[in-house]
A and B are shown apart, each in its own frame.
Chain A
Amino acid sequence: MSAYLKIDHLSKSFRRGATQAEVLRDVTLAVERGEYVSIIGHSGCGKSTLLNIVAGLLPPTTGGVLLENREVNEPGPDRAVVFQNHSLLPWLTTYDNVAIAVNKVFGAKKSRTERHDWIMHNLDLVQMAHAKDKRPAEISGGMKQRVGLARALAMEPKVLLLDEPFGALDALTRAHLQDSVMAIHAKLGNTVLMITHDVDEAVLLSDRIVMMTNGPSAQIGEVLDVPLARPRKRLSLAADPTYLKCRQRVLEFLYERHRFVEAA
């Protein structure tokens, strides 16, 4: 049996003139349905490149990505992305930002009222229904990220791709959003692939943590299972031995064995 999402011997090089820079080398990863997998590594290690290839926004140099045994090589709503900088369209309201996705993906399958209900349902899921008529400039950074998440969820993706979704937020807002994402994951059982550089975030949210070595030619250094029962509670986990052990393992990987040598 093959996995739900499979990244298969994937390599990526960028060519600029005569020089060629290999970013990723021979990355192989299998993600099961409903699994929450985080990819962690120092900046410049190619995590975002990896996510963009899975999203289909970048073509791999060799190897490929399989989703339900089918190769994917172009972007599509089955792999919805929540971008680091929210990427909401500033001239549309919160509601319309979600609607543009819903109308495109379900335009033929659902009636107008069904689509409206679906948009509101997704805004409700991220607790943003109250701001449906606000424009992105009128809401806070955390709220924008919630709307970005609602837009991605509304596409009913097979895999949800999160590209450092909480990276630009302050610690308190980030914690709120992490709890929301955990609740949504528990409710909907999405398959999630998340890029992060935050060790606590990775351990708290993930079933597995994929640790990348430093670039250039980054590879998967280690994959760590996080055997913590769900639902997870931020406060009680803070003293949990398993949590601390997992956290320790990731920290050791990042700061001892693959210490960040030079600024990328």
Chain B
Amino acid sequence: MNAALKKSDTAIALAVPAVSAKVLTLAPKRAPVRERITSHASAIAARVIPPLIVIALTLIVWEMLCNRPGATLPPPSRVLKETWELIVDPFFDRGGIDKGLFWHLSASLQRVAFGYALAASVGVALGTLVGQSIWAMRGLDPIFQVLRTVPPLAWLPLSLAAFRDGQPSAIFVIFITAIWPVIINTAVGIRNIPQDYRNVAAVLRLNHFEFFYKIMVPAAAPYIFTGLRIGIGLSWLAIVAAEMLIGGVGIGFFIWDAWNSSHISEIILALIYVGIIGFVLDRIVAAVATIITRGTAAN
């Protein structure tokens, strides 16, 4: 077949017709090193320069607005000056809640890690059940649809009453926040497994276990990871609010504490950190998704 021809899309094959059927294969010329470096650099610059310009403009406008007398918020120059100590030394620990930002952030991340891991495993399991069994769906789906609209913080008093401790309560709030998108997306993914794949499994006589990990999980993986990605975002949203209420070490309480001591600059620094970490968490889940689904789309 012409498969060989099709395959060699990088090479150019020239066939001289009829008598002398000679095939010339020409390798594409590689551009000289210097040219490649410049083209590479300009590609990077095109990505990096626009956000840098926007950030610089924002800082200038902010500085101008907040540098006037009577401004309620500090300008960036003052934020930098006042929080310089926190920025350069995130690891200090003077006991109690007087710790560096690293410790606050790591306490928050730990809570999120526990709550999210729990939500991911329970969510995928429940989603599979709801996606597979029509009766489980009829029974559970209405309950899920109602419960998922309850705001995360509304669960906090109830979980404090149940656990009588801040730490498990915060973890529970993360869990209950992150679990709904995981359940719903997993269920949709399982329900959308094409009949063709089920037929293939039937012809091969795969048992339930084999069907689960050879067909169901890979087929639903793109959906499951959509749920997991929404879940991690919601977890990070919820933790800051929950920590403001439960107190102790954590970035949420750090912000609340800074507000109570009128350290507005510290709040701004914390917000920047929270934003960056939320972004990184989202990218980590997205990266895991591309590795596990091997880049295959949901078709």
| Interface residue ranges, A against B (CB under 8 Å) | 55-57, 74-77, 79-81, 83, 85, 87, 89-91, 100-101, 104-105, 127, 130-131, 135, 137, 140, 143, 155, 176
Q: Which of A90, A100, A155 contacts B299 (CB 8 A)?
A: A90
Q: Which of B197, B202, B221, B297 contacts A75 (CB 8 A)?
A: B202
In angstroms, Cα B201 to Cα A75, docked, is 9
Contact status A57-B202, CB under 8 Å: yes
Q: Does B293 contact A (CB under 8 A)?
A: yes
In angstroms, Cα B199 to Cα A127, docked, is 25
Q: Does B296 contact A (CB under 8 A)?
A: yes
In angstroms, Cα B199 to Cα A80, docked, is 11
| Interface residue ranges, B against A (CB under 8 Å) | 1, 3-4, 6-7, 194, 196-197, 199-200, 202-206, 210, 214-215, 218-219, 221, 293-294, 296-297, 299
Chain B residues with Cβ below 8 Å from A143 are 3
Known contacts A83-B199, A89-B218, A143-B3; is-contact A101 B294 (Cβ 8 Å): no
Q: How far is the CB of A171 from chain B (nearest CB, A)?
A: 15
Chain A residues with Cβ below 8 Å from B4 are 130
In angstroms, Cα B202 to Cα A152, docked, is 13
Contact status A104-B1, CB under 8 Å: no
Q: Which of A57, A85, A105, A176 contacts B204 (CB 8 A)?
A: A105
Contact status B200-A87, CB under 8 Å: yes
Known contacts A55-B203, A77-B205, A89-B200; is-contact A100 B214 (Cβ 8 Å): yes
Best-buried of B200, B202, B205 by chain A (most CB within 10 Å): B200
Return the chain B residue nearest A134 by Cβ.
Answer: B7
Contact status A75-B203, CB under 8 Å: yes
New contact pairs (4) apart from A75-B202, A135-B294, A140-B6, CB-CB < 8 Å: A91-B294, A100-B204, A105-B204, A176-B1
Best-buried of A74, A89, A155 by chain B (most CB within 10 Å): A89
Q: How far is the CB of B293 from chain A (nearest CB, A)?
A: 7
Chain A residues with Cβ below 8 Å from B294 are 91, 135
In angstroms, Cα B203 to Cα A126, docked, is 21
Contact status A89-B197, CB under 8 Å: yes
Known contacts A89-B197, A137-B296; is-contact A77 B3 (Cβ 8 Å): no
Contact status A127-B202, CB under 8 Å: no
Contact status A87-B204, CB under 8 Å: no
Contact status B205-A87, CB under 8 Å: no
Chain B residues with Cβ below 8 Å from A155 are 203-204
Q: How far is the CB of B196 from chain A (nearest CB, A)?
A: 4
List 11 A–B pairs whose Cβ atoms lie within 8 Å, in order of A's numbering.
A57-B203, A74-B202, A75-B202, A76-B205, A77-B205, A90-B296, A90-B297, A91-B293, A105-B204, A130-B3, A137-B296
Contact status A87-B296, CB under 8 Å: no
Q: Which of B6, B7, B202, B215 contacts A89 (CB 8 A)?
A: B215
In angstroms, Cα B202 to Cα A101, docked, is 11
Contact status A104-B204, CB under 8 Å: yes
**3 nearest CB pairs, A to B:** A87-B196, A75-B202, A91-B218
Known contacts A100-B214, A104-B210, A130-B3; is-contact A76 B203 (Cβ 8 Å): yes
Q: Which of B7, B197, B215, B293 contacts A130 (CB 8 A)?
A: B7
Contact status A104-B206, CB under 8 Å: yes
Contact status A79-B204, CB under 8 Å: no
Chain A residues with Cβ below 8 Å from B6 are 140
Q: How far is the CB of B148 from chain A (nearest CB, A)?
A: 29
Q: How far is the CB of A237 from chain B (nearest CB, A)?
A: 22
In angstroms, Cα B210 to Cα A101, docked, is 12
Q: How far is the CB of B287 from chain A (nearest CB, A)?
A: 17
In angstroms, Cα B297 to Cα A76, docked, is 29
